[in-house]
Amino acid sequence: MTRLVGTIGDIHRHPVKSMAGEVVSRSCVGFHGLAGDRALAVFDERNVVVASAREKRFAPLLRCTASFLEEPTPEHEARPVLIRLPDGHEIRHGDEDAGAAISRYLGVEVILAPLKSGGPSPAGEEALRRVREHLERVRSGGEPRLEGTVFDHAALHVLSTSTLDRLAAGAGLPSLPARRLRPNLLIEPAGDEPFDESRFLGATLAIGDQVLITLSDPTPRCVIPTLPQADLPRAPEVLEAVARDATLEVPTFRGTFPCAGAYAFVIRPGVIRRGDSVRLVGSAE
């Protein structure tokens, strides 16, 4: 027995970690998330670490926008990318001066390089086994990054329009753009019942006729939703609204945090399209 709980709205893909991304109507998805999502990253050339907008010196990356010039696939994720800086300057991944142009913008020596090499995606019991191993490792104090990616924890971030509407009201805003919270999948509720991500933790959801995902934990929120992003201004009231709305226990990270949305893992790959049904099909365990 399955139950319709929502439909897929916008699909958000971020070709370069910590930069604004693009909204697409369809995407291949596998164990490592949406094809092309965080396929590239800016690296601190001196320390060889991935640049994160959580660090003040790299926060200006959020004001840059990245989009693919060719559609990525699970086998070939690092397709050519166009990056637009806030002043309108355009950079293409592969240009000899790409790293130098971003370095001048940031005032930090960096390089732009691929993160995801692509390849076959595990599915079914093998995918579930890897998810369980990952969760066990993180919950015992191990590295939270999902193997083969730069994701903080899971391959997907799921957010509902119900949560956005609730947070906008709590922050005193007429609306809250989904892109401020940087989800991958925006879910619109079925009927009049709100879609509360926390109700589906540990469950398996079927998307369309191909994809299965399992939701693992609430998504802790950091300072990023409050920072200027592309054409969005600074908004400290957003994190304040999140803290009032849902400060939740996150077992994987052994603590209590302001949360909005949920982490999800892909256990059956396929194609996701805007308008696909989202059905509850059972427990992930």
- In tens, the pLDDT along 184-221 reads 999 999 877 777 888 899 899 999 999 999 998 899 99
Classify domain 3-35+120-283 at the CATH class level: mainly beta
- How far is C-alpha 59 from the geometric centre of its chain's CA atoms? 17
Q: Where are the domains of the chain?
A: 3-35+120-283
Say if residues 95 and 83 touch (Cβ distance below 8 Å). no
Quote the tokens at residue 275: 């308008």
Pairing of strands 156-160, 185-189: parallel
pLDDT in the model for residue 245: 86
pLDDT of residue 228: 95
Q: Tell me how far apart the alpha carbons of residues 192 and 179 are, in angstroms, rounded to a whole number.
A: 24
pLDDT of residue 135: 61
DSSP 264: E
Residues of the chain with pLDDT under 70: 1, 47-48, 116-152, 283-285
Model pLDDT, residue 2? 84
* Region class of 261: left (phi > 0), else alpha (psi between -120 and 50), else beta: left
Provide the token pair at 184. 């991958």
Q: Which among 106, 94, 101 has a CA at the least distance from the CA of 40?
A: 94
